[in-house]
Amino acid sequence: MMNNVQLVQGRWIFTGDDTIENGAIAIQDDTILEVGNWDSLKAKYPQAEVHGSSQFAVFPGLINAHHHSNGVPNSLQGIDDDFLELWLFSNIALRSQDPTLKTLLSAAALLQSGVTTVLDVCTISGTPEAGQAELKGRLQAYEQAGMRVALTPGANYSSFLVHGDGEDEAFLSSLPAPLRQQVQALTLLEQTLSPEDYLEVISDLVISYQSHPHISVWFGPPGPQWVTDKLLVKIAETAERLNTGVQTHAVESFYEKLAGPRCYGKSVVAHLHDLGVLSPRFSIAHGVWLSEEDIQILAETGASVSHNPSSNLRLRAGVAPLNQMLQAGVTVGLGMDGTTIGDDEDMFAEMRLAARLHRTPQLNLPAPTFTDILQVATQGSAKLLMQPTLGKLAPGYKADLVLVKCDRITWPWVSPEANPLHLMLMRTRAGDVDTVLVNGKVVLQEGQPTGFDLQAIGQAVAEQLEASPNHEQYYALAKDLRPHLARWYGNWEVPTLEPYAAFNTRG
Q: Would you tell me which residues interact with Zn ion (CB under 5 A)?
A: 337
CB closer to Zn ion, 113 vs 428: 113
SS3 195: helix
CB closer to Zn ion, 249 vs 398: 249
Can you say how many angstroms the Cα of residue 291 is from the centroid of all Cα atoms in its chain? 22
**CA distance readout (Å), 172 to 84, 256, 482, 488:** 19, 20, 13, 11
Helix (H) or strand (E) holding 50: strand 49-52
**CA distance readout (Å), 214 to 142, 318, 398:** 8, 34, 10
In the beta sheet, which residues pair with residue 285? 249, 306
Question: Closest distance between Zn ion and the C-beta of residue 28, in Å?
Answer: 37
Omega cis (within 30) before 60: no
Who contacts 41 (Cβ-Cβ below 8 Å, separation ≥6)?
7, 24, 25, 26, 34
What distance in Å separates the CA atoms of residue 459 and residue 451, rounded to the nearest whole number? 16
User: What is the distance between the terminal CA atoms of the chain, rounded to a whole angstrom?
Assistant: 55
CB closer to Zn ion, 246 vs 403: 246
What distance in Å separates the CA atoms of residue 116 and residue 207, rounded to the nearest whole number? 23
SS3 433: strand
Question: Closest distance between Zn ion and the C-beta of residue 311, in Å?
Answer: 7
CB closer to Zn ion, 256 vs 337: 337
| CB-closest chain residue to Zn ion | 337
In the beta sheet, which residues pair with residue 217? 151
Question: Closest distance between Zn ion and the C-beta of residue 240, in Å?
Answer: 23
CB closer to Zn ion, 121 vs 436: 121
CB closer to Zn ion, 120 vs 337: 337
Question: Closest distance between Zn ion and the C-beta of residue 339, in Å?
Answer: 7
Question: Closest distance between Zn ion and the C-beta of residue 158, in Å?
Answer: 18
Question: Closest distance between Zn ion and the C-beta of residue 123, in Å?
Answer: 10
Question: Closest distance between Zn ion and the C-beta of residue 68, in Å?
Answer: 6
CB closer to Zn ion, 10 vs 335: 335
